């Protein structure tokens, strides 16, 4: 099947009734989400007015509590950075993991953002990637 760009989608196209629909392969979606996440974080870090940036991006300042309790308020935005320095996977016929440390040039850095919401009863951290997956402007990506 042909792969075209239609309405921001990359993938194979097929018809559903009266409209053309396209599917983005999972690897492309993950890569696109990674790019969006990096751009969002860069924008937040460089923004002079962090609250305006969050409002413009549509990040809710209050959310419903998962247990139905009082609404939760956004109080912190956290950035975490990790470096992948190796990989480990199950070994065939062994209880030990097969471990492969990376040489220096293969070490990769990952930064992510979390939105910390609190109420009198609970604390919840919402991952930026989940926010972007459900954000209207990013729906074509996910």
pTM for this predicted structure: 0.67
Output the pLDDT for position 138. Answer: 56
| Predicted confidence (pLDDT) per residue in 11-27, tens digit | 444 455 554 444 445 56
Tell me which of 74 and 94 has the higher pLDDT. Answer: 74
Q: Is the pLDDT reported for residue 140 higher than 90? A: no
Instruction: Read off the pLDDT band of 32 (50, 70, 90).
Output: confident
Q: Is 44 within 8 Å of 77 (Cβ atoms)? A: yes
| Predicted confidence (pLDDT) per residue in 106-139, tens digit | 999 989 999 999 999 899 999 999 999 887 665 4
Output the pLDDT for position 18. Answer: 53
- Parallel, antiparallel, or unpaired: how do β-strands 108-118 and 123-127 relate? antiparallel
Q: What percent of the chain has pLDDT over 90?
A: 58
| Predicted confidence (pLDDT) per residue in 53-76, tens digit | 999 999 999 999 988 889 999 999
Where are the domains positioned within the chain? 3-138
Output the pLDDT for position 108. Answer: 92
């Amino acid at each position: 099947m042909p792969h075209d760009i239609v309405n921001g989608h990359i993938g194979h196209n097929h018809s559903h009734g009266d409209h053309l629909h396209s599917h983005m392969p999972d690897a492309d979606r993950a890569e696109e989400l990674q790019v969006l996440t990096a751009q969002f974080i860069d924008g937040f870090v460089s923004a002079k007015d962090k609250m305006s940036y969050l409002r413009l991006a549509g990040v809710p300042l209050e959310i419903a509590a998962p247990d139905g309790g009082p609404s939760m308020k956004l109080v912190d935005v956290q950035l975490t950075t990790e470096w992948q320095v190796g990989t480990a996977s199950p070994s065939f016929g062994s209880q030990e993991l097969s471990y492969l440390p990376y040489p220096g040039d293969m070490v990769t850095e990952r930064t992510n953002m979390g939105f910390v919401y609190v109420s009198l009863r609970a604390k919840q951290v919402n991952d930026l990637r989940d926010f972007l997956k459900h954000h209207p402007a990013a729906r074509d990506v996910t």
